[in-house]
Structure 1
């Protein structure tokens, strides 16, 4: 399941992943919110939090994530991934160079720092 984090300033989107994330979660929550935000602003910042209750992605969700990132490849200003999930951290470290915009990885205890980094000029 994906839910939007709503207490972020304009131009910063946030999403929290819980349990198993499916393609339907991406298509019904994340993609419409991101597309609407890009319609209003050409550069966005994104906070993605996969906390302790996150258990993984379905293959379709991973594909939807890749498609969304590539569709707006020049539109991402900053992206913060907040997680302590080992395999997700390893994948982010390995592929961070290919992520659009400026990318930083944070642990769950650093959620406040991730938010601050995203809202700072």
Structure 2
């Protein structure tokens, strides 16, 4: 199940994943919020708190996740993934080499640090 994380800065989408994550969760919770954020500000700051095993994501959920990533490829600004699964944290750190923007993994006990990091606004360089 996916749930919104409230009380974040307006330029950050926060999602908490627990239990089974389905295609319906993606379509009703995550995708509309990401689309709204892109329309409003043109970039994505995304916080994912993953308190479920990645194996609990259905094939449809993974497919929608991949489509969302590709559709918004140039829009990613900051991605923070919070999980106690070491493989997830490692992948999040490596992911920064595959997408524009910044990506960083955090442990569950570092949630406050993750929120602070994903909420930071980058200074745009002037030409």
If the length of structure 2 is used for normalisation, what is the TM-score? 0.85
Which residue number in structure 2 is paired with residue 24 of structure 1? 24
Which residue number in structure 2 is paired with residue 3 of structure 1? 3
Q: Does residue 104 of the first structure (1) align with residue 97 of the second (2)?
A: no
Q: Is this contact kept in 1: 2:76–2:99, CA < 8 A?
A: no
Distance 1:118 1:91 in 2: 17
For residues 43-92 of structure 1, what are the alpha-carbon distances to aligned partners after superposition, in whole Å with 9 as ceiling and x for unaligned?
120000012xx142111111111110110111111000000124433544
If the length of structure 1 is used for normalisation, what is the TM-score? 0.89
Which residue number in structure 2 is paired with residue 68 of structure 1? 68
Distance 1:43 1:108 in 2: 25
Listed as ranges, the gaps of 5+ residues in structure 1 are none
Structure with max Cα Rg: 2
Within 5 Å, give how 1:24-103 maps onto structure 2: 24-51=24-51, 54-55=52-53, 56-93=56-93, 95-103=95-103
Distance 2:26 2:73 in 1: 17
Listed as ranges, the gaps of 5+ residues in structure 2 are 122-127
Equivalences, count: 119
For residues 74-114 of structure 1, what are the alpha-carbon distances to aligned partners after superposition, in whole Å with 9 as ceiling and x for unaligned?
11110000001244335445545324421000000000000
Which residue number in structure 1 is paired with residue 125 of structure 2? none
Larger % of strand: which? Answer: 1
